[in-house]
Structure 1
Amino acid sequence: MGLSNSLPPEFDRGMVTTVHQGEYHVSGDTDLTFSTVLGSCISACIRDRVAHVGGMNHFLLGEQSTSARTRHGASARYGAFAMEQLINRVLTLGTGIKANLEIKVFGGGKMNVALDDVGAKNIDFLRDYLAAEGFAAISEDLGGNYARRVLFKPHSGRAFVKRLDSSTGANVAREEIALAARRVLPRTDDIELF
């Protein structure tokens, strides 16, 4: 993982697939790069290091609980759903062995000083989720007050992060707020998460 204005050679060729908010993609193609831009959103890059299959998701919790019973609110179900979808797909296309997974996590920036720190809440959720599932991230770039572009090679597991300027960050923040306002959280009542 590096931070610079130019891309390392392996990220400067091949096919690029953009991962938008609410999506996840998984592949083992050697020349494929997943790309996303994050503000307060989170992206997990998960790879089966034996099968050379990996994927990226992009999610935003969107709301915080007002109940003392639940730390992250109803939208945490969406975060859990986004993580489970990615993990299960990587396991299905990979070896099926959780111990072979390596996890890198990105995002959770504080994009607007006037608003609640949604990014920090997303980071708290992510760390709680990984700990509860028995996972640990091998690499992370979380927090800060900037947007970031994340590139991930699912075959090799290499990730590259570029911090974006404040004008780009302001645009990302507006887009995230608009998407979160329209979001209808998926029903997960009939889905067993494991």
Structure 2
Amino acid sequence: MLDRVGAVTVHQGDCLVTDSPDVTYSTVLGSCISACVRDTKAQVGGMNHFLLAVQSSSARDRFGESARYGAYAMEQLINLVLTKGTGRKSNLEIKVFGGGNINASITDVGAANAAFVRAFMADEGYVATSEDLGGAFARRVLFQPFTGRAFVKRLDSTINEGLMREELAHANQSIKPVEDDIELF
């Protein structure tokens, strides 16, 4: 879906990868995290957007992990870029964004998400080439996978309240099983 800046919007739970020189990915983050991963030799890259580091025990469902959660979202993005690219981890460039504390009156989910993505990358042997994590603000992130350029705009606090409500609504959604083995969300 193209947004008003002519970019493909990456929503919570999305993981998109391309080798097109004409594609720009865009997302808005509060406490969520987006990783931008690029194979520098193959000029293939993508962006994910995850809501929480892991599912809470109270939110676990029979469908297991999904791209709304950090470990799955990171593995999915890295594997897709490796598969469409050269297949060499040494060619990957990773940039991470988000993890803002957009509502000081609730638990700092953003800090937990930022800690998760840093730990995940360290455990997997990756080093972020750039990051913009934490703070008390939302962000709009644009990423051009072909070139690897990323742009971040810190958004004013009036956006934070609506974004927080949207993130909480997504976090509280439960996926319902369907007889055809299709998941509706």
1:71-108 CA distance string (max 9 Å, x none): xxx89993111001100000011000000000000000
On the 8 A contact 2:43/2:145 being kept in 1, the answer is yes
Partner of 1:20: 11
Moved over 3 A (4+): 62-66, 74-77
Partner of 1:51: 42
CA shift, 1:165, in A, is: 1.3
Partner of 2:72: 81
Aligned ranges 1:33-48 → 2 under 5 Å: 33-48=24-39
**Which ranges of structure 1 fall in alignment gaps of 5 or more residues?**
1-11, 67-73, 185-194
**Which ranges of structure 2 fall in alignment gaps of 5 or more residues?**
58-64, 176-185
The alignment-based identity, stated in percent, is 62
On the 8 A contact 1:104/1:137 being kept in 2, the answer is yes
On the 8 A contact 2:31/2:110 being kept in 1, the answer is yes
Partner of 1:112: 103
For the aligned residue pairs, the C-alpha RMSD in angstroms reads: 2.3
Distance 1:155 1:100 in 2: 14
Q: Which amino acid aligns with 1:127?
A: R
Q: Residues 122 and 169 of structure 1: is their aligned pair in 2 closer, same or farther, counting only changes over 3 Å?
A: same
1:131 to 91, 116, 122: 122
Distance 2:91 2:140 in 1: 26
CA shift, 1:63, in A, is: 6.4
Q: Which amino acid aligns with 2:30?
A: G
Partner of 2:138: 147
Distance 2:55 2:108 in 1: 10
Q: Residues 50 and 76 of structure 1: is their aligned pair in 2 closer, same or farther, counting only changes over 3 Å?
A: closer
On the 8 A contact 1:61/1:75 being kept in 2, the answer is no
* TM value normalised by structure 1: 0.79
The reply to whether residue 31 of structure 1 matches residue 26 of structure 2 is: no
Distance 1:105 1:183 in 2: 27
The reply to whether residue 176 of structure 1 matches residue 167 of structure 2 is: yes
On the 8 A contact 2:53/2:69 being kept in 1, the answer is no
On the 8 A contact 1:147/1:164 being kept in 2, the answer is yes
Q: Which amino acid aligns with 2:40?
A: R
Q: Residues 64 and 39 of structure 1: is their aligned pair in 2 closer, same or farther, counting only changes over 3 Å?
A: same
Q: Which amino acid aligns with 1:56?
A: M
Distance 1:77 1:26 in 2: 16
Q: Residues 63 and 170 of structure 1: is their aligned pair in 2 closer, same or farther, counting only changes over 3 Å?
A: farther
* TM value normalised by structure 2: 0.83
Q: Which amino acid aligns with 1:32?
A: V
CA shift, 1:171, in A, is: 1.1
